[in-house]
């Protein structure tokens, strides 16, 4: 490691992160006893070790033997998520943010001030605050025994990590567990209704329960959350949350109350956009990814983009599969002028949830602002080949960002990006998006059927997909299937799902099964393909196979509403 590389961090007893330093600066501070022996030091991406241990070892020795960290590097009309078409409108801020190297897992709560300080200041010259004056003098002599023990521990840890890598299954994708076994049956039922997107019914049940003047307070969390989610009454929601916060309840419930109170302030753009409440939530539950994520949203609102990136990266450690985090990281990085890193974040959002249109829209607008018009168009063409209903059926985890899909914003983005495309391509996309914008609009469906008579394969597939949403007659399905043709590879896996659904409705189950096999071979995680496969199994009275398909869907997409509802039948 070169002495000019600034990749060394210091974590103080107060949990503050300082740095980054290069090797020479850090070593000089160590020799001058600039840090306490209780402080911890690590090269970026390496485990933390005590300052005293590092002083007794060679820097390069520690760097070689350390184990790398395994971190992965909606309403759109909301001003917070407004798409910006040109980088020239951004106000870049010099970044002082690096990927967090460690998350606090101690049971001991930290203060809001300490949480807000878990970031590192970049300094050209390091001064030594009085609070970091040494308490224990370190010896300049090396300790051979300690060195041997230290290396043996590191080697053993390395072997253990390799063993886990080979024998432990890959972590499952992001899961949303709304309720817990410790909650009452009533509260669990409420969370079950939320998971099935029956939020109106859940709010009705909670309203009735609230009128009985119950003594427990747990129900006030989902009650307030639904009042906020359904735009019923922010004042009543906050009154309920205040009741929780002023009562002698556990830290877990209070943390949730702070989260939703901050969420309401952020949604209404009031006061500090919920910053103080998110910090309090983190004080009570330091690893809560929803609080970290929403604090990142808050700092973007406040144009504190480096702070925002810090907390978004902290949230990513807990839920690396959440596309929302990658979208917001992309936005923060654009504002910081880190355009290459922003591009990577937007692409990772797509990779994390390839059927979610939102990620394609944001990436295409970023590309448009970067003058990469060809790639922007390719991105939206790809979007049209993905399952348009997945986004509706698989909402964000509860407490992160509960907003409806804004197809009007999608239509606006498509019109901007494809403005210079071929007229028939521009019209196709606009009509297809408008079909969903207008609630399965019959006018748009009729127009797509007309375009499909002489249109491309994409036009014919999209026309059949809207026809299936419009209660078609059997003869219309047969005509569409003949028009569609046999080879759908040019469109992609979802075309086979569309044709399989049409064939299933016509009771051609053997042909439908062939199409699903083609779709799942190309895309094993396809929720639409596995859901249809489950339906076919039920028609064939293969209930165990049908049940297994639903479980497989939820292992990939834990919030997929049709699978959650279908499991009720077993």
Kindly report the backbone phi and psi dihedral angles of residue 413, in degrees, each rounded to the nearest multiple of 5, phi listed first: -65, -45
Residue 452 contacts by C-beta under 8 Å, 6 or more apart in sequence? 459, 460, 462, 463, 464, 480, 483
* 430: nearest Cα among 453, 450, 452, 407: 407
Rg of the chain over all Cα atoms, to the nearest angstrom = 27
What's residue 531's pLDDT?
98
| Residue 240 tokens, joined | 């309920």
* 342: nearest Cα among 365, 366, 359, 361: 366
pTM above 0.85, yes or no: no
Transcribe 397-412 into DSSP letters: PTTT------HHHHHH
DSSP 32: T
User: By CB neighbour count within 10 A (0-12 exposed, 13-18 middle, 19+ buried), where does 486 fall?
Assistant: exposed
For 244, the 3-state DSSP assignment is helix
For 49, the 3-state DSSP assignment is strand
**Long-range own/partner contacts, residues 147-153 (CB < 8 A, 24 or more apart):** 147/56, 147/57, 150/49, 150/53, 150/57, 151/65
What's residue 121's pLDDT?
34
Query: Which residues face 324 on adjacent strands?
Result: none
What's residue 427's pLDDT?
97
Sheet holding 17-21, edge to edge: 17-21, 8-11, 40-43, 49-50
What's residue 48's pLDDT?
65
Give how far Cα 167 sits from Cα of 163, 292, 421, 556, Å: 6, 31, 50, 20
> What residues in the chain have per-residue pLDDT under 70?
1-8, 11-20, 43-48, 52-182
d(CA 186, CA 50): 49
Task: Decide if 40 contacts 96 (C-beta within 8 A).
Answer: no
pLDDT tens across 95-122, in order? 333 333 333 333 344 444 333 333 333 3
């Amino acid at each position: 490691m070169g002495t000019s590389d600034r990749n060394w961090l210091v974590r103080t007893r107060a949990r503050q992160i300082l740095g980054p330093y290069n090797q020479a600066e850090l070593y000089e501070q160590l020799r001058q006893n600039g840090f306490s022996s209780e402080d911890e030091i690590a090269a970026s991406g390496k485990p933390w070790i005590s300052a005293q241990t590092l002083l007794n070892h060679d820097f390069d020795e520690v760097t070689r033997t350390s184990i790398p960290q395994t971190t992965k590097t909606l309403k759109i009309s909301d001003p917070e998520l407004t798409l910006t078409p040109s980088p020239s409108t951004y106000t870049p801020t010099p970044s002082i943010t690096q990927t967090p190297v460690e998350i606090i897992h101690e049971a001991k709560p930290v203060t809001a001030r300490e949480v807000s300080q878990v970031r590192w200041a970049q300094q050209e010259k390091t001064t030594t605050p009085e609070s970091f004056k040494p308490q224990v003098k370190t010896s300049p002599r090396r300790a051979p025994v300690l060195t041997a023990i230290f290396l043996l521990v590191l080697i053993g840890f390395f072997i253990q990590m390799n063993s886990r890598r080979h024998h432990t299954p890959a972590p499952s994708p992001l899961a949303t567990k709304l309720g817990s076994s410790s909650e009452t049956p009533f509260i669990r039922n409420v969370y079950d209704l939320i998971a099935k997107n029956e939020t109106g019914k859940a709010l009705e049940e909670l309203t009735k329960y609230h009128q009985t003047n119950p003594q427990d307070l747990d129900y006030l969390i989902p009650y307030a959350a639904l009042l906020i989610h359904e735009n019923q009454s922010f004042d009543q929601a906050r009154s309920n949350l205040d009741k929780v916060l002023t009562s002698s309840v556990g830290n877990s419930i209070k943390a949730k109350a702070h989260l939703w109170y901050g969420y309401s302030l952020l949604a209404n753009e009031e006061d500090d956009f919920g910053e103080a409440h998110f910090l309090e939530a983190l004080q009570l539950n330091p690893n809560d990814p929803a609080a970290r994520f929403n604090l990142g949203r808050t700092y973007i609102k406040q144009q504190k983009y480096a702070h925002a990136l810090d907390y978004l990266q902290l949230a990513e450690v807990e839920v690396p599969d959440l596309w929302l985090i990658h979208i917001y990281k992309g936005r923060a990085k654009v504002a910081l002028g880190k355009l290459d890193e922003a591009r990577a974040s937007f692409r990772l959002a797509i990779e994390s949830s390839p059927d979610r249109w939102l990620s394609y829209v944001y990436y295409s607008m970023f590309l448009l602002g970067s003058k990469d018009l060809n790639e922007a168009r390719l991105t939206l063409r790809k979007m049209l080949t993905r399952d348009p209903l997945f986004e509706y059926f698989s909402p964000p985890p509860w407490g992160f960002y509960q907003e409806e899909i804004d197809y009007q914003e999608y239509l606006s983005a498509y019109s901007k990006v494809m403005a210079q495309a071929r007229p028939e391509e521009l019209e196709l996309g606009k009509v297809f998006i408008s079909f969903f914008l207008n609630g399965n609009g019959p006018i748009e469906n009729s127009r797509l059927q007309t375009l499909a008579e002489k249109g491309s394969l994409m036009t014919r597939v999209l026309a059949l997909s809207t026809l299936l949403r419009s209660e078609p007659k059997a003869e219309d399905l047969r005509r569409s299937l003949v028009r569609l043709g046999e080879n759908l590879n040019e469109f992609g896996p979802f075309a086979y799902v569309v044709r399989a659904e049409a064939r299933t409705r016509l009771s051609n189950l053997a042909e439908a099964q062939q199409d699903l096999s083609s779709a799942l071979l190309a895309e094993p995680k396809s929720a639409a393909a596995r859901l249809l496969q489950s339906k076919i199994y039920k028609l064939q009275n293969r209930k165990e196979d049908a049940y297994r398909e639903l479980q497989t869907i939820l292992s990939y997409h834990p919030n997929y509403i049709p699978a959650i509802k279908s499991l009720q039948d077993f």
